[in-house]
Amino acid sequence: MPNADDVRWFKEQFHAAIEKAVQGTPFDLDMLTALACQETGEIWPILRKQGGLSVRQIVALCVGDTLDGDSERGRRAFPQTKDDLLAVGNGREMFAIARQALEEMAVHIASYRGAASNPDKFVRGFGVWQRDLQFFREDPLYFLEKKYEILEETLAKALQELRGALRRAGLGDKLSLTDFEMACVAIAYNTGRFDPSRGLKQGFRPPGGRFYGEQIFDFIRLSRTVPVPGGSAVLEPSAPGNAIVPQPTSISAEGPTLVVDTLQDPLRLRSEPRISDPAGENVIAKLPDGQPVRAVTGQPINGFMEIETSLFGAHLRGFVSAQFLRAATEEIEIPTAPAAPTAAESRIPEVIMPRRPNTVTTRTAPAGAHSLNEPGQPTRGGATPAELVAELARIIDWLAVDDPSHDRYQPHDGLTFCNIYAHDFCHLAGVYLPRVWWSQRAILALSQGNQVEPLIANTIFEVRANDLFRWLQDFGSLFGWRQTGTLSKLQLHANQGGLGLIVARRKEEGRSGHIVVVVPETDEREASRTEAGEVVAAVQSQAGATNFRRGLGRANWWLGDEFAESAFWIHA
């Protein structure tokens, strides 16, 4: 599988040609790089490390996917067999070219030598972006004249096919694409169609591997972390054991800047300009008093104003009651990312509950304030999304929140332990979500540069779900947490092996809030999506009144009347 060094080499060689070719399209260098990783990533990363091959020779050797006398399983396009190819005009000449291309490539790529030993086998994919032999009858000269050996020629064909895939993916009117939308187009490029309700789990899938759509998205994100020569990367590369975190979505609305002015409760942001029945059904989020927003048009609809804003990094767009907005007295910049910590904030460290020497906190013991430290407990250290997802799966199944013998998570006497389970999950994944936190007096002392000893019920206290909601807002960004705006983004990040949370604060103090972990989809448990592809129920893992490892939970539970506010959070 291509890595960051392979992507860097590819961009160094081809970025100028690709950037010129994609002008006027919604595609970009990172998408075409990702597509090259997906289509011929088993070839050029190996060839570039072999001495004696020029860049032109490497491009010429980028062929793959073999056919022979037996029809390839599942293939419907021409040719399905060698005889199919031989039966058309210039078919014998084309077979000779396809056979020679396989033999020449197999000299350098060991995994193809078995195929090359069969005289009936030949390749059907030609060029860095793998133009398929199914197009031979309509465009024979591309193959017969070996135009695929020239980067600009094979690039032009790839862009031609991508334009068609753009329409088939239902994105033909888009002038720019998100990373997710680029992956959707790539699925249509691979399969000829795209089904929004299936998300990225579409396209070719090797045994035990990730779907084509998932892989291409992985490569797009990876490519975003690698700059072109003399440039800067779009995204920060991730350390081992962490997922790549996307940039927050910027605000595109150009209307007047307004400020939420309720003087009491948070302002409900709705998906449409009306109050639903029940009232919370179309609520997207709740905006705090004083939150700056940007109007989309500035014209109310049924007493509602369409607005955009960013809240702790979460991009939000919808409708709010216009009567609770006032004009900003001055131009306000709405930050799309949390501000850098101040010197005082940077002095506030993580804290865990101190323990006596040689004591072990286990899943089978009753719930307490200590973090788990069982021998052999799983961790997260992978370098790719596939590895990270597999490691999160091991954490989920090791914690086994639904195992009755794991007393730490089992509800009893009206008590539930969602906060402890969320802490344990994050703790094993190498991310800080507090089980105990500093008192206000301790924070003041720490911010002044003083040393503070963690002492329960003195300088530290146990953190409940309501406390976690406030902690994430007040301190989460200091420890790598960022809010995100939709379930689709939340699930997508979890599917990359990152961490996601849904947390809601209870209206009544003293009553329990709730927090769940959003976890990667599996073949057995997928998120619920609309026909348009929007996630309406993410895959969640929780301890609560009911414990489950993976489930969809009650629909929009965080918008229930018992909760004052809620939010989605992500972490690398």
Instruction: Convert the pLDDT of each residue in 322-341 to its tens digit.
Output: 999 999 988 888 999 888 89
User: By CB neighbour count within 10 A (0-12 exposed, 13-18 middle, 19+ buried), where does 250 fall?
Assistant: exposed
Predicted pLDDT of residue 73: 63
pLDDT, one tens digit per residue, over 338-397 is 888 999 999 999 999 999 999 999 999 999 999 999 999 999 999 999 999 999 999 999
**Is residue 420 one of the residues assigned to a domain?**
yes
Tokens of 373: 């430290």
Domain total for the chain?
Answer: 3
Kindly list the distances between the CA atom of residue 115 and the CA atoms of 67, 112, 140, 149, in Å, as whole numbers in the listed order: 9, 5, 24, 21
**What integer pLDDT is reported at residue 72 of this predicted model?**
57
Residue whose C-alpha is closest to residue 331's, from 295, 292, 289, 300: 292
Whether residues 156 and 19 share a domain: the answer is yes
pLDDT for residue 279: 84
Query: For position 524, what pLDDT does the model report?
Result: 96
| Residue 70, pLDDT score | 56
Return the closest-CA partner of residue 273 out of 327, 321, 316, 317: 321
Please name the residue ranges forming H helices in 281-417.
385-399
β-strands 460-462, 482-484 pairing: unpaired
Whether the CB-CB separation of 228 and 29 falls below 8 Å is answered with yes
Domain hosting residue 96, numbered range: 4-178
Q: What is the DSSP string of 153-199?
A: HHHHHHHHHHHHHHHHTT-TT-SS--HHHHHHHHHHHHHS---GGGT
In a domain, 488, yes or no: yes
Burial 213-233 (b: 16+ CB within 10 A, else e): bbbbbbbbbbbbbbebeeeee
Report the C-alpha gap between 73 and 494 in whole angstroms: 33
Cis peptide before 79 (omega within 30 of 0): yes
Average pLDDT for runs of 10 along the chain of length 572: 97 98 98 98 96 95 85 77 94 97 96 94 97 96 98 98 97 96 97 96 93 98 97 96 96 95 93 91 92 96 97 96 94 87 95 97 97 98 97 98 98 96 98 98 97 98 97 97 97 98 92 96 97 97 97 93 93 98
Stretch (H or E) spanning 371: none
33 is a domain residue: yes
User: Same domain for 292 and 404?
Assistant: no
pLDDT number for residue 51: 85
Could you count the other beta carbons within 10 Å of the beta carbon of residue 333?
8
Q: Is residue 157 part of a domain?
A: yes
Q: Is residue 570 exposed (0-12), middle (13-18) or buried (19+ Cβ within 10 Å)?
A: buried
The pLDDT assigned to 361 comes to: 98
pTM of the full structure: 0.94
Q: How far apart are the first and last CA of the chain?
A: 22
Q: Do 141 and 37 share a structural domain?
A: yes
Pairs from 297-305 (Cβ < 8 Å, separation ≥ 24): 297/255, 298/255, 298/256, 301/273, 302/273, 302/274, 303/273, 304/270, 304/273, 304/274, 305/258
Rounded Cα distance between 456 and 469, Å, is: 21
In a domain, 335, yes or no: no
Assess whether 387 and 315 both reside in one domain.
no
Are 297 and 162 contained in the same domain?
A: no
Q: What is the pLDDT at residue 339?
A: 84
Residue 72 placed within a domain: yes
SS3 percent helix, strand, coil of the chain, rounded to 5, is 35, 15, 50
Asked if residue 567 belongs to a domain, the reply is: yes
Distances (CA, A) of 355 to 352, 358, 408: 9, 8, 17
The C-alpha angle 234, 238, 240, rounded to 5 degrees, equals: 165
Domain edge (last residue) among 178, 200, 226: 178
- Does the N-terminal peptide bond of residue 278 adopt cis geometry, omega within 30 degrees of 0? yes
Cα dihedral across residues 84, 89, 92, 98: positive or negative: negative
Q: Which of 130, 153, 178 is the last residue of a domain?
A: 178
Sign of torsion over alpha carbons 80, 82, 83, 88: positive
Same domain, 323 and 368: no
In a domain, 505, yes or no: yes
d(CA 376, CA 157): 52
Are 302 and 368 found together in one domain? no
Looking at the structure, tell me whether residues 301 and 418 fall in a common domain: no
Domain termination site, one of 114, 148, 178: 178
